[in-house]
Amino acid sequence: GYDNALVSMRATFIANGAAFKKGFVAEPFQNIQVYNLMCAILGLQPAKNDGDFSVVSQMLKKPKLLPPNPSVRTK
């Protein structure tokens, strides 16, 4: 196991792309917040969870995150 209270045991989160503000440095956050962040970027409705989107929402560009997903076509 590990002591997640130790700074040396924290994860590093680096993000890049159309959904994220350039040069933004977020305050440290728990990994549980990543799920809601990824759902927002992908335009998905997250299942009920213990995360809080307000913790990570400030790193996203506004008002529109990404264009809608194109329809998937199969032949």
Is the pLDDT at 15 greater than 50? The verdict is: yes
Q: What is the pLDDT of residues 20-56, one digit of tens each?
A: 999 999 999 999 999 999 999 998 888 999 999 999 9
Domain edges within the chain? 7-59
For residue 34, give the H/E element and its range.
helix 33-42
Is the pLDDT at 13 greater than 80? The verdict is: yes
pTM above 0.85, yes or no: no
The pair of structure tokens assigned to 74 is 């199969």
CA distance 75 to 70: 16
Measured CA to CA in angstroms, residue 21 lies from 17, 45, 68 at distances of 8, 22, 19
